[in-house]
Chains A and B, each alone.
Chain A
């Protein structure tokens, strides 16, 4: 990463993607897509952890570099910055079901950085943000269509 001031950073998000026991079909496709987003400058992958939660609730955390087959992620591994601390592991794993595996991703939204900087320079402050699940949008569209069909 080139030198940038803190004001030039885009918003940083994290994702915890759980793979329940019996539903783990790792083909490498996700890694390819993640690298594509990174290479395209849409996100900057900052940190990755792999968590495994045993049936008794104990959690094992692994670094990306601990994996035998990194595939496309190998060249990004050296650029990670270990944003998450060990104390974060328990907080993140609280969302996991026993027997599951989860990938934890921390990434900077590069696409949003220039806009965010411009808003800050203009005196703006982020006071709320969130994500609308695509399922909620589909449900809203279909509810509208249902009302229309009823002649509402």
Chain B
């Protein structure tokens, strides 16, 4: 279905969007209703931005106590 004339013109996304891959990686069993996952994202910035496009790798685990 073609979109209307209001959708003509320059886009704002700039490049194909990469799907964020969700990989199940349970660390400990627990009652959390939220799936425990290591998430690898791919940030996409629009257009010829002066900001570097970065690949973001989640779930870096470092020892030590943290407060959330």
Give A contacts to B, CB under 8 Å: 14, 16, 18, 60-63, 66, 82-92, 94-97, 127-128, 130-148, 152
B16 touches A133 (CB 8 A): no
**Interface pairs (16), CB distance under 8 Å:** A62-B1, A66-B1, A85-B9, A86-B2, A88-B12, A89-B3, A91-B11, A91-B15, A96-B19, A128-B54, A133-B59, A138-B32, A142-B27, A142-B30, A144-B66, A152-B63
| A90 CA / B1 CA spacing, docked (Å) | 13
| Residues in chain B within 8 A of chain A (CB atoms) | 1-4, 6-20, 22, 25, 27-28, 30, 32, 34-39, 41, 43, 51, 54, 56, 58-66, 68
Cβ–Cβ contact B7 & A135, under 8 A: no
- Flag if B13 contacts A138 (CB, 8 Å): no
Q: Which A residues lie within 8 Å of B18 (CB)?
A: 94-95
Say yes or no: A84 contacts B12, CB within 8 Å. Answer: yes
Query: Which residues in B have their C-beta under 8 angstroms from that of A128?
Result: 51, 54
A135 touches B34 (CB 8 A): yes
* Cα separation A127 to B54 with both chains bound (whole Å): 12
The residue on A at minimum CB distance from B3 is A86
In the complex, the answer to whether B32 meets A143 with C-beta atoms within 8 Å is: no
- Leading 9 A-B pairs by shortest Cβ distance: A94-B16, A88-B11, A87-B11, A95-B19, A135-B37, A85-B11, A143-B61, A142-B27, A133-B39
Distance of A132 Cα from B57 Cα, bound (Å): 10
Docked Cα-Cα span, A104 to B64, in Å, equals: 39
